[in-house]
Amino acid sequence: MPSLTSSLAAMRIKFAKTLPAKASAVTNAHFEHLRAQAMDGIKKIGDRAPTFELRDGTGQMVSSAALLSNGPLVVSFTRGSWCPYCTEEVKALNAAYEQFRALGAELVVISPQTQERAAKQTQAMGLKFSVLSDEKNATAKAFGLAYQLPDDLKDVYQHVFKIDLSRVNAGAEWTLPIPARLVIDRQSVIRDIKADPDYRYRPEPSDTVAVLRAL
């Protein structure tokens, strides 16, 4: 099975061939804007993680406190099942899930998509963990990860990507999380966080396994 890094690299090459130059310029400028303006507000290693209670695709409430009572927690913030880069990461995390469990950790994926979309993703991909619906990106905001799309980027999503976030997101907001993966220990302390405004790049699951082994 190819690494997540190599799979995402192939995906970047594929989509670069079809993305119009203007749309590419808008998205790249937005990546740089977020790097300059948003990164300082994201929770850091050593910070206490905000607690959350979110519903999965079945409507069941999932509590971070309950999960942490049993061991460390890996949290992956993704944009939604409509994002191919997110889907590729979720697939890689699913393949690595048993490694997380062997180290006593649980995994959840959090995205702003509706419960219905979370349910469809869970079933279609045969996921072994919960995909949680973060209405209005409330939990992403608590971690400092959520951002509002400006008008030029909103235009790219609507007319180039053919995505209407007001329809696919729970709460009908044009907001998204910066993709991020965290390891939270049983005392609710963030022991690792990797966040990148450029959603085309994600850390390897093996990076997360290494952090869990060091706890």
Please give the positions annotated as active site.
86
> Rounded to whole angstroms, how far apart are CA atoms 215 and 210?
9
Residue pointed to by tokens 């999960």? 67
Contacts of residue 192, defined as CB under 8 A and 6 or more positions apart, other chains included, come to 45, 181, 182, 183, 208, 211
> Rounded to whole angstroms, how far apart are CA atoms 86 and 121?
11
Q: Which residues pair with 106 in a beta bridge?
A: 73
- Integer Rg of the chain from CA: 16
> CA 172 from chain center: how many Å?
18
Q: Which residues pair with 195 in a beta bridge?
A: 180
Q: What is the DSSP letter of 133?
A: E
The two three-digit tokens of residue 188, written as one number? 């609710």
The two three-digit tokens of residue 192, written as one number? 């690792």
By CB atoms closer than 10 A (0-12, 13-18, 19+), residue 180 is: buried
> Rounded to whole angstroms, how far apart are CA atoms 38 and 75?
20
